[in-house]
Structure 1
Amino acid sequence: MARVCTLKDWLEAFYRKQEDDLHFFADLLTSPKVSEEISWELNRRLQERRQFSFFFKTLSWHNLSLEELEWCERKMEEILSREDEIREILDRLLEMLGSNSIKRPQ
């Protein structure tokens, strides 16, 4: 039987998604390459992040216990902090793209 996704489930799943994205973006920052595959992968990851964001808007906080709500608030603070970190990495990647200092495959 299918189980309904809760806010807690979403927070845990998005936290794992952030972890994966952080590693991917940080690796790209330390070893930048421009290729069609990288472009597709960036696009795929950004689409997934949009889907997570859209789904988040459908979740309810109203049925959480006080303990669950406190846990969710702490997790959300962690997530927001990590989003800032991801944004900084993406900004640096965009700067590198703008300065053409990224290796292009030949």
Structure 2
Amino acid sequence: MFSVSRFDVTECNQNFMLSDSPLAIRFSDSTAMDEMTEPVNPIPEERFRFCNHSELLGLANTNTHLPDITGEICAIHILFSPWQYVYVTLSLFDSQSVAFRNKIERKVRL
């Protein structure tokens, strides 16, 4: 499990969408990924909030909430498996893909 912080939630570009979701997670140079060995604050099941589509759109570009969204990744740019049977798939482009790969290679312990 990883803790990901300092990222943006934005609306997808309607001319170039990697998935059917109207929202996208955008990584930047300040995005941090840290491996978690155990949950810091387990969230009780009764604390989950269900949102309709218009409520999710209202959260775009606020950088205050990231509700759970079930979706499908349609493009693969980086595929790595530091552990057997565990795969992580992300779509990153340009300098972000290089920066992300460098962060992962520094953190992975085999």
Same fold (TM over 0.5): no
Structure showing greater relative contact order (alpha-carbon pairs closer than 8 Å, 6 or more residues apart): 1
The two structures have a TM-score, normalised by structure 1, of: 0.28
The two structures have a TM-score, normalised by structure 2, of: 0.27
Question: Greater strand percent: which structure?
Answer: 2
Question: Greater helix percent: which structure?
Answer: 1
Q: Which structure's CA Rg is the greater one?
A: 1
